[in-house]
Amino acid sequence: MFTRRSDLPLDKDALSRFLPWLIAFMVFLAVLALAGMLVLNSTAERWDQGVSGTLTIQIIPAANPEDDNGRLQKVLAILNRTPEIDHYETLSDDKLLRLLEPWLGAQAGTHDLPLPRLIDVELKADSKLDGETLSRRLAAEVPGASVDDHRVWLSRLVRLIQTVQGLASMVLVFIAFATVGTVVFTTRTGLAIHRSAIEVLHLIGAQDSYVAGQFSSRALILGLKGGIIGLLLAGPTLFAIGHLARQIESSLLPTITLEPAHWAALGALPLVVALIAMMTARLTVLKTLSRML
């Protein structure tokens, strides 16, 4: 694939042989790390947006089921009187069962088990109302009603995700450094064996920019080749991971998707890496030439 003229072993220099594969490998890793980070990023964002302005009110079933409805109405009356609340929604038994499915299994029937009533409450965007205040207000009038403030555990979860995200960014930064280092080093090593050719071009009367251009365009092509291979290898890997994630996905996990902008960022990686290879080749050759008269 990389040996256009396989009749000559001389053609298979270190630059043409190793650069594309090393770049392919680094791009592969970088794509995976970047994809992971982007997924975490959008997940954390969605969770943050989706749940931080909400509370859930739980009404434990009373000993006497007939009372339950009355208690629910009392709670709703209090909610109506509370100005910080944007809107609320009482969860139907069906929805409740679906939510409980991961823990109870699909077979759990409505009648086997006294279900609590759940009310999803959405607070107004700038609301200062916290779960505890509302909880005290409710408990005073309706025993057995309690408030589950998502923000408490959610903020912990978001913090966890952010930590993982931070780690992923660090890994990404390391991979970026390693990629740059590898590309720079391989390009330089590859050019070392062309030193004599560089000198000949120089002595024939080539301007520095001409000589540098010869090598940098070659490095660009080799870098692109490697980058595209890396991307092609990373693509199926990403899809496989995405597929697995969807299989284990339950109502607990938000959907893991990449947006078009993210795909674009991943697709741009080979180009970025190829440009690094090109700039390195250019600077290396110019440096070599600057030592000549």
What residues make contact with another protein under the rule CB under 8 A?
5, 8, 10-11, 13, 196-197, 199-207, 210, 292-293
CB nearer to another protein: give 105 or 205: 205
Nearer residue to another protein within complex by CB, 33 or 220: 220
**From residue 246, how far is each of 99, 102, 240, 257 by CA, in Å?**
18, 15, 10, 10
Cβ 198 to another protein shortest distance, Å: 10
Complex with another protein: residue 17 or 74, whichever CB lies closer: 17
**Contact call for residues 76 and 229 (beta carbons, < 8 A):** no
Closer by beta carbon to another protein, 6 or else 247: 6
Q: Report in angstroms how near the CB of residue 206 gets to another protein at its nearest.
A: 4
Nearer to another protein, 3 or 255 (CB): 3
Reference 183, options 145, 222, 132; nearest CA is 222
User: Smallest distance from the beta carbon of 282 to another protein, in angstroms?
Assistant: 17
Least gap, CB of 7 to another protein (angstroms): 8
Cβ 25 to another protein shortest distance, Å: 25
Q: How far is the CB of 197 from another protein (least distance, A)?
A: 5
What are the φ/ψ torsions at residue 124 (nearest 5 degrees)?
A: -65, 150
Query: Residue 142 or 289: which CB sits closer to another protein?
Result: 289
* Least CB distance to another protein at residue 212 (A): 13
Closest to another protein by CB, 60 vs 203, is 203
The smaller minimum CB distance to another protein, of residues 149 and 199, is found at 199
- Helices 208-248 and 260-290 cross at an angle (nearest 10°) of 150
Least spacing, CB of residue 290 vs another protein, in Å? 9
